[in-house]
Amino acid sequence: MKIIIKVLFSLLIFYGFNACKVGPKYERPETVSPEKFRFDEVEQDSISNIEWWDIYQDTILQRLIKKGLENNRDIRIATQRLYGAMASRDIAKSDLFPQFGVNAGIERESSFSEDSNGNLQNSYDDELVATVGLSWELDIWGKIRHGKDAATFSLLAKEENRKSIILLTVSTIANDYFSLRDLDNKLRITINTVEAREEARRIAELRFKGGISTEMTLRQAEVELTQTQSIIPTIEESIAHLENEISVLIGENPNVITRGDSLFQQKIPSIIPVGLPSELLLRRPDIIAAENALKQATSEVGIAQANFFPSIALTTSTGYNSSSLASSSFIESPYWILAGGLITPIFTWGKLKGQKKLAMANMMEEMEDYKYTILNSFREVDDALISFKKSKEIRIANELVLTKSKQYLRLAELQYFNGIVSYLGVLDAQRTVFEAEITTSEAFKRELISGVNLYKALGGGWYSRSGELNTEFMPQ
């Protein structure tokens, strides 16, 4: 009971010292946010408030993203770092409270002496010890509290870094999937073109044998066919590379990736609202992580300042010490000790000043990094906005080029068979259609990816349906 009273009394003293916490108080740095993004033309809530599974509606893509969130190794590494930060926070927090310990032991000391007859006699002295001890460093100047705060902000920063990795994983899987469907479409276009040019070569050969056309026409058809055939292995190689990359992203060995909707069946909003720039500061995980890193550095300055002041530690122990195993003798020999110690720096040859300067420099570095992260986030959103806007215009323009190219090919073929133009006109029209089909596919993919990048720049897509941290891999 006396021990409990002493501990409670000490805790009261501890909380009475809270007003003595030295060090800077964190204040969010002033930053200038634009009233609106440069290329924002829609005044609605940000699309980042919509979950990724509502943005990417291809069920196969949704399945791939889900696998990535569950199995991606970078996410798992970040999760383990987060659990480590949780443990560090708990360690730092424990220093605020008294540390208790129990000690029990027995010693036997042997000695020799002569009896009255001059014979050596062996005697034993037993000593029994049982103590309960308490040690506690009083956090008068806030050093331990600053340490606990620094560990807490480090934990929060790692959680936001983990969200950044999740956001990057979701967007990378989506971009790679759209690129894969684009390559599939380009492969289909190329194979169809090869089939068409094989037919054109066959007709050219028949016309040459029939004396209707020259050998040059036949050779031109053969060159066009061979050149188109040579494109297929390059596309197939790129498809394999992308499939391997997606496999690793979802935590699996390289393998074939199941396809869902075709490239032109993929849906993306025609207009993407982005919200206000000021909302970005509270939404993007990299900005929040940078601010928590600044808060951590500010707390570390407080630790450096507290090191200039004395540290006071209290130790107390109570127990029993007896030379007999008899219960009455053991209980009747209690003792207690209360001690206090004070350590104060006097001459450290600039060590403490250097530590403070280092902490201040780290704090200023984190402050500049926080400001840069904000500035860069505004740039990334504006870049993504203009890319999304222009990629749509490029896609529409390429679709028009494709339509006109097909009209050009029909006219060229008609005029060739009527003897109005040479086969060179047909070859030129075929090349134009092939290039237009390829660029249209590329433009559609670019529009899809620009939407993904805008969603990523706005900080969307990192949360899960439950909003809870997956604790499956938490160390026990």
DSSP β-bridge partners for residue 101: 133
What domain range includes position 302? 16-96+139-309+344-457
**Structure token pair of residue 117:** 């007859």
- pLDDT at residue 146 greater than cutoff 80: yes
What is the SS3 string spanning 79-137? HHHHHHHHHHHHHHHHCCCCEEEEEEEEEEEEEEEECCCCCEEEEEEEEEEEEEEEEEE
Name the residue with higher pLDDT: 33 or 3. 33
How would DSSP label each residue in 393-407?
HHHHHHHHHHHHHHH
- pLDDT at residue 476 greater than cutoff 50: no
- pLDDT classification of 360: cutoffs 50, 70, 90: very high
Q: Which helix (H) or strand (E) holds 300?
A: helix 285-306
**In a domain? residue 129:** no
- pLDDT at residue 444 greater than cutoff 90: yes
**In a domain? residue 110:** no
Name the residue with higher pLDDT: 330 or 60. 60
Highest mean pLDDT among 8-22, 127-141, 185-199, 423-437: 185-199
Average pLDDT over residues 387-416: 93
Supply the mean pLDDT for the chain: 82
- pLDDT classification of 330: cutoffs 50, 70, 90: very low
Average pLDDT over residues 10-23: 61
Residue-level pLDDT at 49: 56
Nearest to 452 by CA among 61, 38, 69, 34: 61
Assign residue 275 the CATH number of its domain.
Answer: 1.20.1600.10
- pLDDT classification of 395: cutoffs 50, 70, 90: very high
**In a domain? residue 103:** no
Q: Which residues contact 279 (CB under 8 A, 6 or more apart)?
A: 46
The structural domain count of the chain equals 1
Q: Using alpha carbons only, how large is the chain's radius of gyration in Å?
A: 38
**In a domain? residue 449:** yes
**In a domain? residue 101:** no
**In a domain? residue 337:** no
- pLDDT classification of 134: cutoffs 50, 70, 90: confident
Residue-level pLDDT at 427: 86
**In a domain? residue 336:** no
- Contact assessment for residue 303 and residue 150, using Cβ atoms and an 8 Å cutoff: yes
- pLDDT classification of 324: cutoffs 50, 70, 90: low
- CA distance linking residue 369 with residue 365, whole number of Å: 6
Percent of the chain with pLDDT over 90: 45
